[in-house]
Amino acid sequence: MTVSTPALDTMDLGDPNTFADHDHDLDEYWRTLRDTAPVHWNPPADGRRGFWVLTRYDDILAAYRDDVNLTSERGNVLVTLLGGGDAGAGRMLAVTDGHRHHELRKILQRVLSPRVLSEVAAAVRVNTRQLIREAVETGGCDFAEQIASRIPMTTISNLLGVPEQDRDFLLAQTKTALSTEDEDVDELDSEMARNEILMYFMDIVEERRESPGDDVISMLIGSSIDGVPLSDEDIVLNCYSLIIGGDETSRLTMIDSVHTLAAQAEQWRRLKHGEVAIDTAVDEILRWASPTMHFGRSVVRETELHGVQLRPGEIVTLWHASGNRDERIFDRPGVFDLGRTPNKHMAFGYGPHFCVGSHLAKVEISELLMALRDFTTGFEQTGEALRIRSNFLTGFSTLPVRFRPDHRGLKEVD
């Protein structure tokens, strides 16, 4: 089948429908940009501002390193950059730069380091294996809804001390905020969902001030920067960032891994028979899925890239969806290879803003792969997988699958 390449001047990367309509046909579009227009201008459309698009791996990394000419503090995703800025700028880790970013990052790393998360990892293992075992024994399920939606949200909720009865509510809000498949959900609905999450955590922070626990929110309440305690607003904004980041990336990557492996018999065989290391497989799944398609920056000082002048106030977007397929870096980037090494993918970003929860995400994906390997001989997709509508995230909201049980594996006692 011949796939036509969308014309560069007709594509609007600010429109969520672009990604829902074109799906993986965009691979050729990204390749054309990398080869012919590595600094591409996405013109204004439908009342949205225009913005620059970086598609080459090395250019994206250089932009991540550049905290002199570029800033995160006016927003780091198109939805806020095009909306006039991020209300959390200077307070939420992802949209804070400089000294305060460094100090805030140190606080969060204390509770998200591999050493501290060892107990959390054990709980992820138990929860994941129980969910997969149940799904295998019943024959199948909507993997997106019944498994992938429950593992990351359970994990990050446990860390934050979110009561179990509130987790479905938070999951619904995170989906509406950034990754809905519903065409009737507009930007106002998404903004209301984001506000619901913020208000929810404001109530939780008030409760923790009255009665502290051993959760992340209580730890944040007891933290300070340069001798000044974090305010309620600081804490709420970073809880929002943690719940969104802790759920979306892992959930969408898990769904993509099952969707891809169901269609790639040879790669599944390699995983099932232990021919590839789990860690190596996880990195390839992250590269392949690239669930966070882009991050963004604003120009604060005039700079030049590939002969193009970037001027103060302009928006620059860094597209992982393209960088993780760059032929200049990856051998046969269009091939899904669980044994790929080296694999310096940028699924978690790069530089000072490298995802603070990357270790936890890798633990969750690793445990999923091991549970699938141990409890199934394979699986198949049994119905349509619906794509989310977003210009920020990519992936599926539904994935009906049927599992083939590995009876020997199912007899084991975890």
| pTM summary value | 0.93
Report the pLDDT value the prediction gives residue 3, as an integer from 0 to 100.
37
Report the pLDDT value the prediction gives residue 1, as an integer from 0 to 100.
30
Asked whether residue 7 is domain-assigned, the answer is no
Would you write out the chain's pLDDT as a tens digit for each of its 414 residues?
A: 333 445 677 899 999 889 887 555 799 999 999 999 999 999 999 899 999 999 999 999 999 999 999 999 999 999 899 988 888 889 999 999 999 999 999 999 988 888 878 889 999 999 999 999 999 999 999 999 999 999 999 999 999 999 999 999 998 888 887 766 666 667 778 888 889 999 999 999 999 999 999 899 999 999 999 999 999 999 999 999 998 888 888 999 999 999 999 999 999 999 999 999 999 999 999 999 999 999 999 999 999 999 999 999 999 999 999 999 999 999 999 999 999 999 999 999 999 999 999 999 999 999 999 999 999 999 999 999 999 889 999 999 999 999 999 999 888 755
Asked whether residue 10 is domain-assigned, the answer is no
**CA 254 to CA 150: how far, in whole Å?**
11
Report the pLDDT value the prediction gives residue 24, as an integer from 0 to 100.
52
Task: With both helix axes pointing from N to C terminus, report the angle between 278-289 and 358-375 in degrees, rounded to the nearest 10.
Answer: 110
Asked whether residue 218 is domain-assigned, the answer is yes
**CA 208 to CA 322: how far, in whole Å?**
42
Are 41 and 50 within 8 A, CB to CB?
yes
Structural domains in the chain (count): 1
Report the pLDDT value the prediction gives residue 180, as an integer from 0 to 100.
61
**CA 255 to CA 252: how far, in whole Å?**
5
Report the pLDDT value the prediction gives residue 185, as an integer from 0 to 100.
64
Report the pLDDT value the prediction gives residue 218, as an integer from 0 to 100.
94
Helix (H, G, I), strand (E, B) or coil at 40: strand
Report the pLDDT value the prediction gives residue 65, as an integer from 0 to 100.
96
Asked whether residue 11 is domain-assigned, the answer is no
Q: How long is the chain?
A: 414
Asked whether residue 293 is domain-assigned, the answer is yes
Asked whether residue 149 is domain-assigned, the answer is yes
**Tokens representing residue 303 in the block:** 């700079």
Are 321 and 294 within 8 A, CB to CB?
yes
Helix (H, G, I), strand (E, B) or coil at 245: helix
Cα angle for residues 8, 13, 19 (degrees, 5° grid):
100
Cβ count near 349 (within 10 Å):
20
CATH (domain of 224): 1.10.630.10
Q: φ, ψ for residue 82 (rounded to 5)?
A: -80, -20
Q: First vs last Cα of the chain: how many Å apart?
A: 46
Asked whether residue 1 is domain-assigned, the answer is no
Among 337, 326, 330, 332, which residue's Cα sits nearest to residue 261? 337
Helix (H, G, I), strand (E, B) or coil at 177: helix
The two beta strands, 39-42 and 308-310, are: unpaired
Asked whether residue 366 is domain-assigned, the answer is yes
On the question of a cis peptide bond just before residue 342, with omega within 30 degrees of 0, the verdict is yes
**Tokens representing residue 198 in the block:** 């913020």
Domain with 181 in it: 16-410
